[in-house]
Amino acid sequence: MLVALFNDQFVDMVGETSKEEWYLKNKSGLLRCPVCHNKVIPKCGTKKTWHFAHHSFEECDGYHEGETHYHLLGKKGLYKWLTYINEKSILEYYLRDIQQRPDLFLQKQQHAIEFQCATVTPDDLRKRITGYQSQNIDSDWIFGMKRIKQKGPDLYYIQSSDLSAAKKDSDGHLYLNYYCPLKEQFLLLRNIIPLSQKKVVAHGYAFSTKKCCDVQWLSRTFKNSKTHNVNHKVLWKKQKNTWRTTAFKNTSPAVMYMKKVLYFNHHSLTLFPSIAGIPTPDFYHIETSPYLWQTYILFLIEKLPISLFSENVIEKEFQRLLHKRILQTRDFPYMKESWRDAIKNYLSFLVNHQLLDKVSERTYRKLQHVHYPKTLDEALRLDEIFSEKS
């Protein structure tokens, strides 16, 4: 931690205090943890960012020992960035009511900023976000740059759990922010489209902290260039290709289930309909690859005894498969949408492509049979056409 109490006054490790001064303060025995009021000691070594550590590992609600150098450095760097852009922030501010301690807190705006380097589970993330929301505090997650790798133009590997912290920008696109304390640089990831658990297509914008001149940059959107959008389409098409060519060796519960269902109906998963596997709005609320759950929707519709059907039928069946953990959802605490919207939007897509007719708010009518490609060549050719349409 970077903040302690000395004589009941806050002191921190981001200022000019020298090593000798810290050791003098330490001798007095008056350096305390602001949360549990136990003794803390200043650590002013050469390997790690200077920080305070609890004297003994007693229970302390507010601080987790063993922060890495990278995390301490990042916290300090972000604090300096906020100071540089004239935002008054408080380091490690302890919110006693909810027992949370954001890395940085903008008191005037009631805005918490977390610099996340360690993996946090989606459940923990939701808990922390709802904690802030319960106090009417805005929150933003900035991830350590070590948690992302660029794999090509507009292609990134991220930690799958980090995606849960994504927010939607004003255009409805997902975004996340990364920060490198070593380079003092932000990477603003915009228009994120998840391809698999860890692989995402996104536009990355790198800026030195000196260039990002207000906190709004964390939610800033950028005008899409044409090349970016072309890349999105190309990468998506490539992913669809991968789904087709690797389905035979994939043994995930969803794939095994779909293979079985299709097999008993004389289809193969490799030759799933080209109208499935489409990045329709909100599709990412279902973590299972869209080619699987969209093919399954098409299959369900095909199997219905009558041409009129309600969205509820599909939802109910999905609920069953979610319960059996054949399908998986993703949790996005910052969004109000859910997997139900993923289904709804895909049905709208089918309406737009004349496969269905929308009769009322939640009722549809089948119009056409679903076409299953006969060969891989035909499938790839049709994928090409749908890639342009979606």
Indicate the residue among 85 and 90 with the shorter CB distance to Zn ion: 90
Indicate the residue among 35 and 112 with the shorter CB distance to Zn ion: 35
Please tell me whether residue 60 binds Zn ion under the rule CB under 5 A: yes
Minimum gap (Å) between residue 3 Cβ and Zn ion: 11
Indicate the residue among 91 and 301 with the shorter CB distance to Zn ion: 91
Please tell me whether residue 53 binds Zn ion under the rule CB under 5 A: no
Please tell me whether residue 14 binds Zn ion under the rule CB under 5 A: no
- Length of the chain in residues, anyone? 390
How far, in Å, CA of 220 to CA of 213, rounded?
11
Indicate the residue among 40 and 314 with the shorter CB distance to Zn ion: 40
Give the range of 26-34, 101-109, 114-122, 261-269 binding Zn ion by CB under 5 A.
Answer: 26-34
Indicate the residue among 35 and 145 with the shorter CB distance to Zn ion: 35
Identified binder of Zn ion from the candidate list 2, 3, 4, 35, rule CB under 5 A: 35
Give the range of 29-37, 193-201, 267-275, 284-292 binding Zn ion by CB under 5 A.
Answer: 29-37
Please tell me whether residue 91 binds Zn ion under the rule CB under 5 A: no
Residues 225-244 that bind Zn ion (CB under 5 A): none
Give the range of 13-21, 59-67, 108-116, 280-288 binding Zn ion by CB under 5 A.
Answer: 59-67
Identified binder of Zn ion from the candidate list 36, 53, 234, 376, rule CB under 5 A: 36
Please tell me whether residue 1 binds Zn ion under the rule CB under 5 A: no
Binding site for Zn ion (CB under 5 A): 33, 35-36, 60
